[in-house]
Amino acid sequence: MNLDQKLMDAAVAQLDRRWPAGQHGGAAAMYLEDGRIVTSVGFDNVNGGASLCGETGAICQAYTLGLRVTASVFVFREIGGEPYVMAPCGICQERLAMWGPDVQVAVPDPASETGWGVRTLAEVHPYYWAKVFAGGEWPPSSLHAQP
């Protein structure tokens, strides 16, 4: 499934369920290879080292199900503001990398009518470090999930 408005709406709906409109927070939505959508929110903790990105729960759901993530959206809202798209952080790019360079992610795009655009992981991460372990190519999922 390709990243679309439906996935964006799912992320905003999750944001509103967990943090009703007007509250500060973030939420993610991801398409899995079978077309289902999984959502999650960040785990905030007074100890920042224990906190988790909003995408982490959805990534773990996909991995638990043994299904590939095909597209990912993360939205964030400041107190009293409107939700806006944030690109995945470097760690979440790394987590998503196990499903290959074609995973689509939402990125901010002020020039677009919606304020967001779609890029592949390869586009946001052109010098992916782990290519060195796969002969210069994006490493296969099997390399990420070694027993």
Site residues, Zn ion (CB under 5 A): 53, 89, 91-92
Beta-carbon contacts of residue 124 (< 8 Å; ≥ 6 apart): 87, 88, 93, 105, 107
Phi, psi of 124, deg, nearest 5: -90, -10
- Minimum CB distance to Zn ion, residue 44 (Å): 13
- Minimum CB distance to Zn ion, residue 55 (Å): 6
Phi, psi of 104, deg, nearest 5: -90, 140
Residue 47 or 142: which CB sits closer to Zn ion? 47
The rounded radius of gyration (Å) of the Cα atoms in the chain is 15
Residue with the two structure tokens 């409107």? 82
Residue 67 or 86: which CB sits closer to Zn ion? 86
129: its two tokens: 């470090």
Q: How far apart are CA 1 and CA 124, in angstroms?
A: 19
Residue 53 or 121: which CB sits closer to Zn ion? 53
Name the residue type at position 117: G
- Minimum CB distance to Zn ion, residue 60 (Å): 13
- Minimum CB distance to Zn ion, residue 23 (Å): 20
Residue 49 or 136: which CB sits closer to Zn ion? 49
- Residue from 93, 85, 100 nearest 145 by CA: 100
- Minimum CB distance to Zn ion, residue 104 (Å): 16
Residue 53 or 67: which CB sits closer to Zn ion? 53
